[in-house]
Structure 1
Amino acid sequence: MKLTGIHHIAIICSNYKTSKDFYVNLLGFPIIREVYREERDSYKLDLALPGGTQLELFSFPDAPIRPSYPEAQGLRHLAFQTPDISGAVKELEGNGVQVEPIRTDEYTNKKFTFFSDPDGLPIELYES
């Protein structure tokens, strides 16, 4: 098997409008396409991430809540790299997002921090 990368990451949102605003307007990911699937009463929003990977946002009526804390088995977090972690943190905090203190990875000596999306999904910023 030859895998060449990650094509997309899918997130089911509790409030589609809020999550769309967060990922498009705050994090700045461009919209590829947005569709409403009437048979599922569901929106699907494809967003472009750097390097060609996509982020898919879905709305589904009555989707169950997934526990994040304490840490549960499964996907732990979504990490984005940035060349300026301090600037990114200031921008997030300026938009009302609570961000953990910046820490340094003891193995790579790179700076990183965490914050949450509107549904509590842990997101990491990792300085490149």
Structure 2
Amino acid sequence: MAGANTEFELRGVNHLALVCRDMKATVDFYQGVLGMPLIKTIELPMGWGQHFFFDCGGGDALAFFWFPDAPEPVPGVSAPKDLPDRGELVSAIGSMNHVAFDVPPERIEEYRDRLVAKGIDVGVVLNHDDSEFGVARDVHDGVFVRSIYFKDPDGVLVEFAAWRRRPGGLPGDVRHEPKTAADRTGPPAT
């Protein structure tokens, strides 16, 4: 099997931990809007805050910390300023750019409509391919994933991604040389 891990038996994502401003608003969004069951809640010791876990499918969890003294986010630094189909994708080194949930390919348009009906600002369905800009207007054989993007109450960029074919199986799926810190055009590291 291409890409099999021979070092460690990794079985997927246990959980991804993010930080929220308002745990109730976070529960209302992830459980109430997206339907993810709340599976574990923790009050942190010494008044440090809370840590809640949601089942996001496939045995994986999405977790949130609430800290009473957490600093405010900086859009464009800690997260992209807007949705990718609106021209925003960049976030800072060390930030979490977005979290993507796998959804059935035949339901991507339905899920977009359902989110819009719930009052969520959702981008257009993107057909990701290997073209110059990485997105095609129409679905064709080269489209490997279709997705939609939206934000949670804290500005976390969320994606519903629907594989049309799993990557790693075709020649050219892995063909680019990795860039180094010397290739950066942004401010130098401090």
TM-score, normalised with respect to structure 1: 0.89
Q: RMSD between aligned alpha carbons? A: 1.7
SS at match of 1:63: coil
1:6 counterpart = 2:13: yes
The answer on whether the counterparts of 1:114 and 1:123 sit within 8 Å (CA) in structure 2 is yes
CA distance in 1, matches of 2:33, 2:124: 19
Residue of structure 2 in register with 1:102 after alignment: 125
The answer on whether the counterparts of 1:31 and 1:47 sit within 8 Å (CA) in structure 2 is yes
Cα offset, 1:15, TM superposition: 1.1
Cα shift readout 1:38-97 (whole Å, capped 9, x = no counterpart): 513412211112111111121101211333235222321100121111111111111111
1:90 counterpart = 2:113: yes
1:32 counterpart = 2:67: no
Q: 1:18-57 maps to which residues of 2 (within 5 A)?
A: 18-57=25-64
The answer on whether the counterparts of 2:56 and 2:101 sit within 8 Å (CA) in structure 1 is no
The answer on whether the counterparts of 1:20 and 1:57 sit within 8 Å (CA) in structure 2 is no
Cα shift readout 1:9-61 (whole Å, capped 9, x = no counterpart): 00110111101110111111112121223513412211112111111121101
The answer on whether the counterparts of 2:16 and 2:62 sit within 8 Å (CA) in structure 1 is yes
CA distance in 2, matches of 1:62, 1:88: 35
Structure ranking higher on relative contact order (CA contacts 8 Å, 6+ apart): 1
Cα shift readout 1:81-127 (whole Å, capped 9, x = no counterpart): 21111111111111111001111001351321110011111111112
User: Which has more radius of gyration?
Assistant: 2
Equivalent residue letter for 2:100: A
- Give identity over the alignment, percent: 28
Equivalent residue letter for 2:161: Y
The answer on whether the counterparts of 2:27 and 2:38 sit within 8 Å (CA) in structure 1 is no
Equivalent residue letter for 1:120: G
- Gapped runs of 5+ residues in structure 1? none
The answer on whether the counterparts of 1:22 and 1:117 sit within 8 Å (CA) in structure 2 is yes
CA distance in 2, matches of 1:63, 1:7: 24
Aligned length in residues: 128
